[in-house]
Amino acid sequence: MTFVEQLSPEAKIFEDRIGREISLVRFDEEKQLLRGWMVLKENEMQAIAISPDKVDQSVLEKIGVWDQVAKETQRNIGLGIQVARQVNQERMAKARAGRKGKEQYSNLPRQLRCSTPDCENETYIAPGILVKKIGLEGLDDEERMKVLEVFLKDYKCAICQPRRRGRVRNSLYADIPRTVKCSGKGCDKECAINPKNVYEQTGGDAKKIKAYCDGYLCRNCNPEWGSWLKGKRGPGKKANPENEGFPKTAKCKGCDKEVHIVPSNIRDKAKKLKVTVEELLKNYKCRSCGGVIKGKARKKRKNRKMVTA
């Protein structure tokens, strides 16, 4: 027994069109309103007044108020039911029209059996997907059956022939391996190579690609990679030929401190002082001893205060 029935065993309980449970108190014939209590929770209720057109005709007849409803409202309720039925019928008709006819897929299998002798796996496939997968669109029945027979004859399930996942590799790099072994003496390190760079260097020629892979050297074995830094700070770029033989440090004339120098900076400094590089290094001074070239003084900008409206 519900909470409303416990309070009033003779209460007329009904539901409106949106599923609200209401206990009828009386029908206000003058204002054409159903007055009652709406159940909110198990032990909570709220006073409510709704129009009869919010309730189905069968429900109004069951609670005994249909004859008291105005004729115009009765007509509107009847028309509303008819319109709802018509809308529902139109929706169903559109749904049926959007579906593919069964005749189109009548001769297509729903289960594909693996062609491997020792495998009996069957894979379900929707007819529409099968049509697109093997290109049956636009073919007549005879041509369709021929294409289907060839496909079913060689079909293999995902266990016997696993499908490759991910993006397909560029066809230009088909002859380029993903990894190669270093050809250095006593070094068999497996190295990943960039196919784009290899293709640009070899032009896609299979013989040049093979020669590149056979003679590949890793960074540790390659004398052209970071040879001037080996044994000091690890691998790095090869030195600029212009800087070969250039000293790495200079001795300050003022404090006798060894200072690390950059060849390009020394050249620029010598150019500004209008002396040779050799003369600058012979009379070199560090920052602490006044070796900084003073430039033009920059005008200091006064801080402007921001004015907000």
Tell me the per-residue pLDDT of 242-264, one tens digit each, with 9 for 90 and over: 888 888 899 988 888 898 898 88
Largest Cα span, the chain:
120
DSSP state, residue 242 = G
Q: Is the pLDDT of residue 303 over 80?
A: no
Domain boundaries, the chain: 3-76, 107-154, 180-238, 244-282
pLDDT score, position 309: 35
- Band (pLDDT 50/70/90 cuts) for residue 226 is low
- Band (pLDDT 50/70/90 cuts) for residue 304 is very low
CA distance 27 to 60: 11
- Band (pLDDT 50/70/90 cuts) for residue 308 is very low
pLDDT, one tens digit per residue, over 2-55 is: 555 555 567 788 888 888 888 888 888 888 888 888 877 767 788 889 888 888
Cβ-based neighbours of 239, under 8 Å, separated by 6 or more? 228
Is 179 in a helix, a strand, or coil? strand
- Mark 162-188 as b/e (b = at least 16 C-beta within 10 Å): eeeeeeeeeeebebbeeebebeeeeee
Q: What is the side-by-side order of every strand in the sheet holding 12-15? A: 12-15, 21-28, 33-41, 44-50
What is the average pLDDT value for the chain, to the nearest integer?
Answer: 80
How many CA atoms lie within 13 Å of 94's alpha carbon, on the beta-carbon side? 6
pLDDT score, position 4: 57
pLDDT, one tens digit per residue, over 180-224 is: 999 888 888 899 999 999 999 998 898 999 999 999 998 888 877
Percent of the chain with pLDDT over 70: 83
Q: What's the pTM value of the predicted model, to 2 decimals?
A: 0.31
SS (H, E, C) 28-88: ECCCCEEEEEEEEECCEEEEEEECHHHCCHHHHHHCCCHHHCCHHHHHHHHHHHHHHHHHH
